Chains A and B, each alone.
Chain A
Amino acid sequence: MLRGGEPFIWLTGGALAFALLMVAGLVGIIVVNALGFFWPASVVRVTLKDGPALTGQIADRERVPGSTESRVKLRIANRDLYGADFVWVDEAKIARREYPAGVVVIERTEWGLLIGTLKDVRDGGASVLSGPAALDELRRRLPDVARLRAEIRRVERSDIGAINQSQEQVRLALRRLELKGVTSGADVDALRARLAGLQARYQVQEARLADLRKRQTGSIVVAADGGKEKELPIAQVIDVFTPNTMSVPAKAWHYVANVWGFVADDPRESNTEGGVFPAIFGTVMMVLIMSLLVTPLGVLAAFYLREYARQGTFVSAVRIAVNNLAGVPSIVFGVFGVGFFIYFVGGSIDRLFHAEALPTPTYGTGGILWASLTLALLTIPVVIVATEEGLAAIPRGMREASLALGATKLETTLRVVLPAVMPSILTGLILAMARAAGEVAPLMITGVVKLAPALPLDGTWPFVHLDRKFMHLGFHIYDVGFQSPNVDAARPMVFATTLLLLVIVICLNLFAIAMRQRLRRTYATAAV
């Protein structure tokens, strides 16, 4: 039996099964935790044997250490009222559990969820409707409130943002003139006049903003456990729902809306709430820029190594060195990125082209371009190795056929070799993208930030802002999971973000794989 190799077959199968189990377990934990996060869980009111009642959603249940009893983790929310989002309750101490129909869960822009009973809807301090009808009134007002909030945001971001940017440009132009020794004259006066004009426009927008804010008059009163009441401006209410009376389809709809909000919204509350859209955007854009940089560089290098360089000890040494580059810790690449790209290249660009802004750096600080370049450097061995292997697999006869037809080496390379090696290049790119999307360490020092004020791509000239800092899902996971002030509340976000990152990597890879399949059909390589 030993000679027949059956135990060996079991060993190989076992190894594969073990690996699959580990991966499936990891992905399973992520998926379960992430997807559960968006479900509008029912709100339970537990009355304790010693008196007080607690209202909240059950977030977890575990055995009390050193005892046979269990305890539940109750998300009581209302951080502004109670100081903490979660409490542990021993099940033995619970006298009664009920699911009151009137409990509302309010998502708001600050302080996390608010759980309680809606008492009153007020406008300008006067009660409009109270009692059960208040909820309908609140729901009726929410769309207008959301529109108003969006409008305020637009004024703040786009209108005032554009004015700020123009002001900054004029200020820099003035500074440029000053550096040239011009401190008065027609040019300076013109710029000063423009600055004044911009200031006037700013005042107009500011007044408009104040006007919009004044329209946010509504507020609600919510009663919570312990006789506490909270008056909350409706402007802060994002969504309100009553999980205890919702049907399953309604909950499912809410679930979908939550998922969409997570994907499409900006983060709130130092990233522990809201969405992760800027991080998605930053991750994808960085990976794409990196792909644009690494593919030509890696492919050209591989072509030289395999097609033109005289094969020998030196080329072999280069090849080994390139392969080993993949083993260098990524943080080392990050440090190199900081030292070379940011301080040297970026610093030089600043001195040459953006001297007027100094000492504030423009390119001499972390940004999406430098982060992408650093990752391109990090992933270049992958592309080189994959391309080289593809080149080695192209039959000699194919090159000879082209040369024998009178094609030059260059024509042969471009017209026969390159199309044939395209699938291998894409394989390399897939591996490189997967690696880059998941990398965090080098990004932390080359341009990723916790919260970026603006996307690296927007409507203001020159539209693509490669000098901007950006957000990244990998860093977001680290930040929310380990740097957040409210780790308990943020933990589901960590899982959801991880899942999202996995999905993005899979999507990028599927896209590249589909492209490779298409190429394979067109340029199917002959079986050697």
Chain B
Amino acid sequence: MASAVHVTASLNPAAMPASMMEMPMVEIDHLHLWYGTKVGLKDVTMSVPKHRVTAYIGPSGCGKSTLLRCLNRMNDLVDGVRIEGTVRIGGVDVYDPALDVTELRKRVGMVFQKSNPFPKSIYENVAYGPRILGVKNRGDLDGIVERSLRSAALWDEVSDRLGDSALGLSGGQQQRLCIARAIAVEPDVLLMDEPCSALDPIATAKIEELMLDLKNSYTIVIVTHNMQQAARVSDYTGFMLLGELVEFGVTRELFTSPRDKRTEDYITGRFG
């Protein structure tokens, strides 16, 4: 209950985090989620500002991936999920029954923890989304593929072998390919679910650098285990615990002067 009080408190204008001052892209309002009878998310209220990187940190099983997957309704695929509350992206209610979920997913791209390129060529991977959207002209597709791969900082490495299987790329390249694939459909929001957890430090550094570039064009929400990563790349950070959003604020403030004891325990490593 203490947390609920806290979240309510954060809505108090005096205690309102700086994110509220910026233009919100995603607004989450009193969101609850249950897996059957198990509580997945408890009364989460927050907003994600446009063209910023927002990170969720927290221990395993705290619900940060679940929260992320609420934004593009990937949780719909799981049996027995029940959701209450509202999520708005660009002012549109995500859980509106009249909303076409495929339209939503075209606006909210996603990059997964494990790189999951299709067993197709590099070109076809990136062109997949546009093709689904109905782009058929080869010249248009070529342009989209090149632009997306350039945005994902992969073009120089693969431009001479676009026809090769995507599965022949290294782990880091595959993950950047997945980013290119996600941004090929020009989404408003890019969700990243622990995108670097399977990568080595060099590949991780490249992806982090990429995120800083991409935030000029996209609103990025990232889930990460790695607090240093959150500190390095994000503008705002939310700390989650047992399905609650314990604290949400400007990254630097959250890491230097957390307001909640549990946040402090976690970021100082005293969490147990």
Contacts and interface: CB of A to CB of B under 8 A. Distances in A.
B112 A403 contact: no
B100 to A, nearest CB: 9
Interface string B121-144: 000000011001100000000000
Given A398-B119, A401-B116, A403-B74, 8 more contacts: A397-B114, A398-B116, A398-B118, A401-B112, A401-B181, A404-B112, A420-B119, A523-B120
Contact of B116 (A400, A419, A522, A524): A400
Interface stretch (B102-110, B154-162, B231-239, B264-272): B102-110
Contacts of A397: 112, 114, 116
Interface residues of B, number: 27
Given A397-B112, A526-B167, A404 B118 contact: no
A525 B182 CA distance: 20
A407 B74 contact: no
A405 B120 contact: no
Contact of B109 (A405, A407, A408, A419): A405
A404 B109 contact: yes
9 contacts: A398-B118, A401-B181, A405-B109, A406-B105, A407-B102, A415-B132, A416-B118, A420-B119, A521-B165
Contacts of B165: 521-522, 524
Contacts of B106: 405-406
A524 B182 CA distance: 21
Nearest to B129: A405
B103 A419 contact: no
Contact of A526 (B74, B116, B182): B116
A522 B164 CA distance: 9
Contacts of A407: 102, 128-129, 132
A406 B119 contact: no
Contacts of A400: 74, 77, 110, 112, 116
A25 interface: no
Given A408-B102, A415-B128, A403 B116 contact: no
B117 interface: yes
B164 to A, nearest CB: 11
Interface of A is mostly: helix
A524 B105 contact: no
A395 interface: yes
- For this complex, into which size category does the number of interface residues on chain A fall? 20 to 34
A516 to B, nearest CB: 14
Contacts of A398: 116, 118-119
Contact of A406 (B114, B116, B120, B133): B133
Contacts of A419: 119-120
B178 interface: yes
B47 interface: no
Interface of A: 395, 397-398, 400-408, 411, 415-416, 419-420, 521-526
Nearest to B125: A401
B114 A404 contact: no
A523 B121 CA distance: 8
Contacts of A403: 74, 77, 105
Most B Cβ at <10 Å: residue of A398, A400, A524, A526 = A526
B263 to A, nearest CB: 30
Contacts of A402: 118, 128
Contacts of B103: 406
Interface in B75-103: 77, 102-103
B220 interface: no
B72 interface: yes
A97 to B, nearest CB: 68
Q: Kindly list the 3 A-B residue pairs having the minimum CB-CB distance in the complex, ordered from nearest.
A: A406-B106, A397-B116, A404-B110
Given A404-B110, A405-B106, A405-B109, A526 B117 contact: yes
Interface of B: 72, 74, 77, 102-106, 109-110, 112, 114, 116-120, 128-129, 132-133, 165, 167, 178, 181-182, 185
Contacts of B178: 401
B167 A405 contact: no
Given A420-B119, A524-B119, A526-B119, A404 B105 contact: yes
Contact of B132 (A405, A524, A525): A405
Most A Cβ at <10 Å: residue of B105, B109, B118, B181 = B118
A154 to B, nearest CB: 52
Contacts of A521: 165
Nearest to B114: A397
Contacts of B119: 398, 419-420, 523-526
Given A400-B74, A411-B132, A524-B165, A406 B185 contact: yes
A409 to B, nearest CB: 9
Contacts of A415: 128, 132
A383 B74 CA distance: 32
A406 B77 contact: no
B178 to A, nearest CB: 7
A398 B116 CA distance: 6
Nearest to B128: A405
A372 B117 CA distance: 40
Contacts of B117: 401, 526
A411 B133 CA distance: 11
Contacts of B133: 406
A408 B129 CA distance: 11
B116 A405 contact: no
A262 to B, nearest CB: 45
Most A Cβ at <10 Å: residue of B103, B109, B119, B165 = B119
A401 to B, nearest CB: 5
Nearest to A407: B132
A406 B118 contact: no
Nearest to B106: A406
A158 B77 CA distance: 63
Contacts of A405: 105-106, 109, 128-129, 132, 181-182, 185
Contacts of B182: 404-405
A525 B104 CA distance: 28
Contacts of B132: 405-407, 411, 415
Contacts of A411: 132
B122 to A, nearest CB: 13
A407 B102 CA distance: 6
Nearest to A412: B132
Contacts of B102: 406-408
B67 to A, nearest CB: 16
Most B Cβ at <10 Å: residue of A398, A401, A405 = A405
A395 B132 CA distance: 21
Contacts of A408: 102
Contacts of B105: 403-406
Contacts of B110: 400-401, 404
A404 B106 CA distance: 7
